[in-house]
Amino acid sequence: MTLNWKIGGLLLGLVFFAAVLLVKPIGVSTQFVILDGIVADLANPDLVTQTDDGYTSTNAYLAKSGGKYAKSVANPLNYSFIFVLAMVVGGFVSVKMRGGLDQAEKTMPALWRANFGDSAAKRNIAVFIGGFIVLYGARLAGGCTSGHMMSGMMQTSLSGYIFALGAFAAAVPVAMMLYRKEA
């Protein structure tokens, strides 16, 4: 079901290459900020405002770098945001084509179940906290596994190596501690 790593790695590499050939390197985590901005701007239309030469925001993070995030919030139909929405559809199509995901997996992955039992609430709370830490960290770092690690190291960017070092330095000990039983 899972592709052999040689075929999978080749295909994944081709996608990263296609992105940089045709448009720009792949990145995802910024779009969490953009979606937050879109929602917050609906609640408070003063958050993002148009200026003579672009966009700005009352939030310092959205306003940074000449308001490039503010611009994306004001124009959600941009490349990077649509890209992430298309990724969701890509995952949906892939699963449908391989016969769907079984019910148990829809609730939680097998490795979690083997180590922490059947409680969906426990799994969902842990994943919610994990998501918070992941995205806070990704924005602090300025990118995630796609943008920093894969696109970054592929371009020989110094920051990509620093990010990967930090990510694995934490991920490996945490995973070894959490997942003692194999599944």
Interface pick for other proteins out of 56, 68, 76, 153 (rule CB under 8 A): 153
- Is 56 a binding residue for other proteins by CB under 8 A? The answer is no
Interface pick for other proteins out of 12, 44, 50, 66 (rule CB under 8 A): 12
Q: From the CB of 66, what's the least distance to other proteins, in Å?
A: 15
User: What does residue 120 show for φ and ψ, rounded to 5 degrees?
Assistant: -70, -35
Residues 79-138 interacting with other proteins (rule: CB under 8 A) = 79-80, 82-95, 98, 100-101, 105-112, 114, 120, 123-138
Q: From the CB of 176, what's the least distance to other proteins, in Å?
A: 5
Q: From the CB of 114, what's the least distance to other proteins, in Å?
A: 8
Q: Which is nearer to other proteins, 54 or 131 (CB)?
A: 131
CA-CA-CA-CA dihedral for 116, 119, 120, 123, to nearest 10: -30
30-43 vs 120-141: helix crossing angle, rounded to 10: 100
How far apart CA 174 and CA 156 sit, in angstroms, is: 27
CA separation (Å) from 134 to 33, 57, 91, 140? 13, 25, 20, 10
Q: Which is nearer to other proteins, 54 or 104 (CB)?
A: 104
> In sequence order, what are the residues at sequence separation of 6 or more whose Cβ sits closer than 8 angstroms to the Cβ of residue 153?
160, 161, 164
Q: Which is nearer to other proteins, 2 or 52 (CB)?
A: 2
- Is 140 a binding residue for other proteins by CB under 8 A? The answer is yes
